Every structure is written in C-alpha cells, then in structure tokens.
Structure 1
Amino acid sequence: MNEQTLDAYCRKQPGVTHDYQMDWECDRYHVGGKIFAMIGGDSKGVRILTLKCDPMRAEELRETYEGIVPGYHMNKSHWNSVYLDADIPEGLWERMIEHAYETVLQKLPKRVQQEIKSE
C-alpha cells in the first residue's frame, strides 16, 4: 500500500485533523483531538502505518499477518504497526483504518461524537 492512498483514506473520515510530528517524523491523524493513526518509520526507517486497535483484534491480526506487529513506540496492547510492504489483502487496510477511527471516536464524549457526525 502506498502512503498517499493511506493518507487520503485517513483524512476522509469525518472530523479528522492531521499534523506532522517533527520529533517522531510521522504524520498523525486525529479525531476529537485523539490520535487514531500515524504514518512514519520504525527504528530502521522502514515505513509503517500505526493504528489504534481493540486488544483482542490486535492480537488476532498479529497472529494472522506477518507484516502486522505490536505498535512501534506505542502501547503494545492497543496499537498495531503495519509495514507498508506487507502482504495484506487490499480491503483490510481500509477496514483497519476504519476500526482505529471508530475505536477512538467511541471513547469521545457523546456531545463530541454528535458534533463530528453532523459535520
């Protein structure tokens, strides 16, 4: 998967904001001020997409796909990192981004959720 496609898909979710974190050298995607996705590199500079994930689903994805590992520099229970060159089915990329977005959105106050959904 290429970074431009992932960037566009992350940005198209309702209420998403984006910034670039210089210290981490990564693009960050937020909903309601909370990060749900990041595109950056691992310790060797290999490009990864890091996504928020339900802990049970996170473990299942890691066991199923070699290119999905515990979140790089993140809480290993709640985040996965996916190597951009990993052999991942096409639709899975989108579903993982949507899951990350929804996971964070559902933790926001109901008022904030309603504001985002009405945009």
Structure 2
Amino acid sequence: MLSIPDVRAACASLPHSHETFPFGLTTLVFKVGGPGWSRMYALLGLDDDPPAVSLKVAPERGDELRAAYDAVSGAPHLNKRHWISVPLDGRVPDAVVRDLLAASHALVVRGLTRAQRAELGQRGANL
C-alpha cells in the first residue's frame, strides 16, 4: 500500500514536477510547469483517512477505472469527468496507482502549449 512519502517520491521523479500548497496545508498539489505558469496533475489529501490522491484522466479512462475498482470515484471539488480520486488503502494496486500518476502527468504535459513544452525542453512528438 502506497504511503504519502511514496506518492511524493513518485511525483518528484517525474520531469519538471513540483509540490505546492495553493489550497491550504492539508492538500498537497503536484504541478508540472515552468516559472510563472504550471498545471496541476495530482492532489493529495493529507488529512484524509485513508489518504487519497486525485488524478487527471481522459474521460473514457476514468469510466474504465471506476468500473474496474469500487474504490475509484470522482475527485471531490474537481470536474468528475476529468479527475478521479484513488484512496491509498490497497484496494487499487500500487503499480496501478504509480501508472496513473505518470499518466496524469503525461496528460497534462500533452495539454501544454507548444511554447510551454519547448520551455520544458520537450517536443510534441516525444510526448
């Protein structure tokens, strides 16, 4: 079962990822971006019991995940069509959660403008 430090380490390993607390000290937000702009790809509720991570997904992938895992739901306070919530209690396998973190990051990077990707040293064909 993934812990909060495990999620932080997984996110820190993703290119151009950084942590912020824009919504207060109980919600850790992971963003990708450069100085002056960034986009969130994961939110981690630090006070949740069990902790839960909210992740951006393509709508059809979110539907698949909600059908496959009873624990996966729409993320609170976010667009339920594009964001899911995954509790870190072992009901969703750790490998799946890690893959979802990377996929959320990649989805957000793909949504950046060409200029923003170039600023990050990425090219559209490589995303």
Aligned counterpart in structure 1 of residue 81 of structure 2, from 74, 77, 84: 77
Q: How far is 1:12 from its partner? A: 1.2
4+ residue runs over 6 A deviation: none
Which stretch of structure 1 is more off in the superposition, 99-108 or 14-23?
A: 14-23
Are residue 51 (structure 1) and residue 52 (structure 2) matched?
no
**Cα separation, 2, equivalents of 1:91 and 1:79:** 19
Change (3 A) 1:90 1:23: closer
Which residues in structure 2 correspond to 1:1-119 (within 5 Å)?
A: 1-23=2-24, 25-32=26-33, 33-40=38-45, 45-46=48-49, 47-117=51-121
Residue 62 of structure 1 aligns to a residue whose secondary structure is helix
Once the two structures are superposed, what CA deviation does each residue of 1:44-76 show, in whole Å capped at 9, x if it has no partner? x32210001100001110110111110111100
Identity of aligned residues (%): 25
**Cα separation, 2, equivalents of 1:68 and 1:102:** 20
Mark the runs of 5 or more structure 1 residues left unpaired by the alignment.
Answer: none
Which stretch of structure 1 is more off in the superposition, 68-77 or 19-28?
A: 19-28
With normalisation by structure 2, the TM-score equals 0.83
With normalisation by structure 1, the TM-score equals 0.88
Contact 1:66 1:86 in 2 (8 A): no
CA RMSD of aligned residues (A): 1.7
**Cα separation, 2, equivalents of 1:78 and 1:97:** 14
